[in-house]
Amino acid sequence: MRSPAMWWKGLRAALGQLAQGARGHLARWREKPERPLRRPWKRLHFEVLEERTLLTASIYIDDAVVIEGSAASFRVYLNADPREDPNAPVTVEYWTADGSAFAKDPQGNPLDYTEIPANPNTKVSIPAGQNSAFVSVQTHYDWITEGNENFYLRLGTATNGVVADPQGEATILPPDNTVTIADAAPVWESQTASFRVWRTNTTLPTSIRYQTVDGTAYQRLDDYTPTPQPPNPEPYGEMSFTGGALFIDIPIATEQDGENEKDETFFVKLTAAYGAVIGDPKKAMATIQDDDPEVTVVPPPKCLPLARASMGGGMDLLGWW
């Protein structure tokens, strides 16, 4: 049987060998060249992004509200963050995009607003020392009576800043101008009926389109001159307010038909307005009074026999009266 002293001696020898092996592994590890970091660019990338976030100003855009025919003004502005280069302007690309308002009709003609296409050279600049700049987009009058419409201004690539709000919305309100039409005064056959059209704003360019509509008077019976008239290809008549005029008159000629009849009526209806909205009433009536003389029919007299006395004392029938 081994003594405790022998056990301790064996344990110390084993521990010494283990320590010697560990020192050898450590020495060999120290002699190897230093291993490079794995994917050093990944760490560097995140460090750069973090630095840009701290130093770059954020760019925002406000919404706009405009009355049809005026220019929508979008404010592009910065927050309080410092710029990368305080002495350089902040620039950002921009372009327009349709909403319920359209820049062009199906034929490519300008419609609700002036389009600004996407182009790297189309930029707004906020000068050094300033906090905002403005972008204007012109809206247009049209012939459509409609409610509010909208379109968008979008921001793209920026220099010396980061876009935080990429889109502003413009709301187009209807024109501050209303047109209405009044009944014409009664006229005799062959006279001209005059329909007066009023507007509420004399400072805006205003035009109207209209049509005649049968009542008890008929175009096909030549009771009045219709609008439009052949060979006019457009299904309406058109008139414009001039200068600061508050009203215009639509003349419609009536015809003499030579018939004894009751008074007749027809209508003029406003179908579209340019630079205005159509209010009520949008339809007005004209009365044609009949001036043909009334013909009195006189019935023929009763027939009486014509006779004379005969030589024989009787009566001879000569005819009828």
Read off the pLDDT of residues 116-148 as tens digits, 9 standing for 90 and up: 999 999 999 999 888 999 999 999 999 988 889
Q: What is the rounded distance in angstroms from the CA atom of residue 27 to the CA atom of residue 35?
A: 16
Name the residue with tokens 């301790």. Answer: 8
What pLDDT is attached to residue 224?
A: 93
Do 178-289 and 52-173 fall under one CATH topology? yes
Nearest to 159 by CA among 81, 57, 82, 46: 57
Pure H helices in the chain: 4-31, 40-55
**Rg of the chain in Å (alpha carbons):** 48
Which residues neighbour 30 within 8 Å (Cβ) at sequence distance 6 or greater? Answer: none
For the chain, give the percent of residues with pLDDT over 70. 75
Q: What angle is formed at CA 155 by the lines to CA 149 and CA 158, rounded to 5 degrees? A: 170
Any idea where the domains of the chain sit in the sequence?
Answer: 52-173, 178-289
> For domain 52-173, which CATH number applies: 2.40.160.60, 2.160.10.10, 3.30.70.260, 2.60.40.2030?
2.60.40.2030
Q: Is 121 exposed, middle or buried (0-12, 13-18, 19+ CB in 10 A)?
A: exposed
What pLDDT is attached to residue 257?
A: 77
Name the residue with tokens 């990368």. Answer: 84
Q: Is the CATH number 3.40.50.300 carried by domain 178-289?
A: no
Q: What is the rounded distance in angstroms from the CA atom of residue 162 to the CA atom of residue 273?
A: 44
Q: What is the arithmetic mean of pLDDT over 252-265?
A: 87
Span 193-226, pLDDT tens digits: 999 999 999 999 999 999 999 999 998 888 999 8
220, 221, 224, 228: CA torsion to nearest 10: 10
- Sign (positive or negative) of CA dihedral 268, 271, 273, 277: positive
Q: What is the rounded distance in angstroms from the CA atom of residue 112 to the CA atom of residue 149?
A: 9
- Tokens representing 69 are 């025919």
Q: What is the arithmetic mean of pLDDT over 307-316?
A: 56
3-state secondary structure of 45: helix
What pLDDT is attached to residue 148?
A: 95
3-state secondary structure of 142: coil
Range in 18-27, 47-56, 189-198 the model is least confident about: 47-56
Name the residue with tokens 């029938």. Answer: 317
What pLDDT is attached to residue 197?
A: 97
